Structure 1
């Protein structure tokens, strides 16, 4: 049973027609199903039959654009990995991964274009494309991702001031409240050093970007009026972070001298 599981999850060394067919079918069904669901649920209350554009390039101090960049990168990475498992060569999986990544997010932008509340955003489309390209160029140059994108999130008290925008439930707050989101660019120096280097192959440096006290998309100064507390003023600010990190893709206990069953 264990052998069968390992065989299934191990990527194929040659093109596997059956795996490719199943993979493509699941991706296609997920694409279509998510679009139909979003159309009938997420966009149901503000759907219009008139396509329009919307310039949101200066909103949220760029946090939403970083989010689009990250999402484009992650979708391309995951789709490419699945087709790598199916035995496709590097150029084939990169073409399919980037096409699916950019195509799917473009579909969502088109849905936004028919939404009364939002609109088709060229800035979002550009951020999506850059996220896809970020994955592709690294794979073409190094055949691996040396500058990795990461995401972390936590709940903040700001959602209670504008729950209709920043979210009211736990999932909504994680998705909509940019104050609780941080996007990281992480790199592992050992990937740029020769094999004789003593620098730990698992140690990474991560640089993060976030915002704080950002309650309105367009306004960097937001006044909240409370009948008891009076006026609370929130001055939005950018946050640039640095942290030591672990590259779990490079980390190997055995390579780092840890032998749990040695005598």
Structure 2
């Protein structure tokens, strides 16, 4: 498996960061107070929907063929490929009040990342609670 992962994603941190879809989750985060302005919820509280996948060891299926003779070089069709959907709270760091210009800059830069929180995952027709998702 390690050799196949290296073939697909590369062995460098940068390559894996960009190519390893099994380790990526894409998030859409919306500020709850924008929809309910009179609520007493904190300004920084968001609700996020995430999308990810797991079990992907090939472009369309978990099998690979030699480029030279077409023989099978990797066959893990026994590993199920599946989608993952998430629902989780999130933090809009730019809504945290501070007078510090440095902190405002740091919060703004970090705000592109999903704040680690528990999440409800839906995959393979089942729900499960993840203690931390980001």
Give TM class, smaller chain: 0.5 to 0.7
1:241: Cα distance to partner? 1.1
Classify the secondary structure of the residue corresponding to 1:235: coil
CA distance in 1, matches of 2:55, 2:14: 20
Q: Determine if the alignment matches structure 1 residue 249 to structure 2 residue 94.
A: yes
RMSD: 2.3
1:162: Cα distance to partner? 3.4
Task: Tell me, yes or no, if the aligned pair for 2:57 and 2:63 is still in contact at 8 Å.
Answer: no
Residue 257 of structure 1 corresponds to which residue in structure 2?
Answer: none
Residue 110 of structure 1 corresponds to which residue in structure 2?
Answer: none
Q: Determine if the alignment matches structure 1 residue 204 to structure 2 residue 49.
A: no
| Runs (4+) off by over 6 Å | none
Q: Determine if the alignment matches structure 1 residue 234 to structure 2 residue 76.
A: no
Classify the secondary structure of the residue corresponding to 2:42: coil
Residue 164 of structure 1 corresponds to which residue in structure 2?
Answer: 7
Greater per-residue strand proportion: 2
CA distance in 1, matches of 2:90, 2:98: 16
User: Residues 167 and 197 from structure 1, CA distance in 2 versus in 1: closer, same or farther, beyond 3 angstroms?
Assistant: same
Task: Tell me, yes or no, if the aligned pair for 1:202 and 1:248 is still in contact at 8 Å.
Answer: yes
Classify the secondary structure of the residue corresponding to 2:79: strand
Task: Tell me, yes or no, if the aligned pair for 2:26 and 2:52 is still in contact at 8 Å.
Answer: yes
1:167: Cα distance to partner? 1.9
Q: Which residues of structure 2 form unaligned runs of 5+?
A: 65-74, 100-134
Q: How does 1:40-55 map to 2 (within 5 A)?
A: none
Greater per-residue helix proportion: 1
Classify the secondary structure of the residue corresponding to 2:34: helix
CA distance in 2, matches of 1:184, 1:169: 24
User: Residues 235 and 188 from structure 1, CA distance in 2 versus in 1: closer, same or farther, beyond 3 angstroms?
Assistant: same
Task: Tell me, yes or no, if the aligned pair for 1:209 and 1:240 is still in contact at 8 Å.
Answer: yes
Q: Which residues of structure 1 form unaligned runs of 5+?
A: 1-157, 225-230, 255-263
Aligned residues: 88
1:197: Cα distance to partner? 3.0
Residue 71 of structure 1 corresponds to which residue in structure 2?
Answer: none
The superposition leaves residues 20-75 of structure 1 with CA deviations (integer Å, 9 ceiling, x where unpaired) of: xxxxxxxxxxxxxxxxxxxxxxxxxxxxxxxxxxxxxxxxxxxxxxxxxxxxxxxx
Task: Tell me, yes or no, if the aligned pair for 1:159 and 1:177 is still in contact at 8 Å.
Answer: no
CA distance in 1, matches of 2:42, 2:97: 11
1:251: Cα distance to partner? 2.1
The superposition leaves residues 122-141 of structure 1 with CA deviations (integer Å, 9 ceiling, x where unpaired) of: xxxxxxxxxxxxxxxxxxxx
Q: How does 1:65-80 map to 2 (within 5 A)?
A: none
